[in-house]
Amino acid sequence: MEKQPNLLFSNPQILNSRSYQVTSQIFSAISHGIGLLLALIGTGLLINKAFQFQELNRLIAYTIYGLSMINLYFFSTMYHALYFTKVAPVFRFFDHCSIYFLIAGSYSPFCLIALNNSLGWLIFFIEWLIVALGLYCEIYKRQWLKKYSTYIYLSMGWLAVFIVYPIIQSVSIAGLLWLLAGGLFYSLGTSFYRFDHKYVYFHTIWHLFVLLGTACQFISIYFYV
């Protein structure tokens, strides 16, 4: 009997098959479609909390964070749902750009609420400066960015190590642990993202890690910031 290929390993015949490509895009669209629904609910909860506190900086920070979540899951869902159409490249561009927005957006509550000082504003400014540079590269330096985008994402995410101590003072160790857990899920997920063109369903697994990362950091922000 002919040995069947292990789906956990690279198999060009499977990766290039139409059935696999369709199935992979369906799984990716569904996974982040669920993420979009949760992001909408989560943003509503955050906005409601902001109104309860009646603090403008809290409303602004929560709104930025919520919109960055919605933005990422919307464009990711649309890109994978319309993968085989002519508009897919447009949604792919916005999908990639939205990663920068989510990372910077996730910093907003910690910088503008938990810290709310010169250090917080400095980190906030640096994150959004990197977003601007990332968008520039997405438009004008696509080939260069293909090699280094993952490292840019990781650098943006782990910039938080410079504000660990003040975050502990502001949101407690529990809040920090949820934040770090989210960063760990995102970071581990990038390993699947980098090799999703070589291994079966690695992109869907990457999506699941993104969902877990978002969930952990939402818990940190909603309950501790």
By C-alpha distance, which of 216, 214, 183 is closest to 65? 214
**Is 96 known as a binding-site position?**
no
User: CA torsion, points 14, 95, 73, 16, in degrees to nearest 10?
Assistant: -10
**Is 197 known as a binding-site position?**
no
What is the CA angle 77-69-148, rounded to 5?
A: 80
By C-alpha distance, which of 165, 137, 166 is closest to 151? 137
With beta carbons less than 8 A apart as the criterion, state whether 99 and 210 touch.
no
Residue 31: CB atoms within 10 Å: 21
Extract the annotated binding site. Answer: 80, 203, 207
Extract the annotated binding site for Zn(2+). Answer: 80, 203, 207
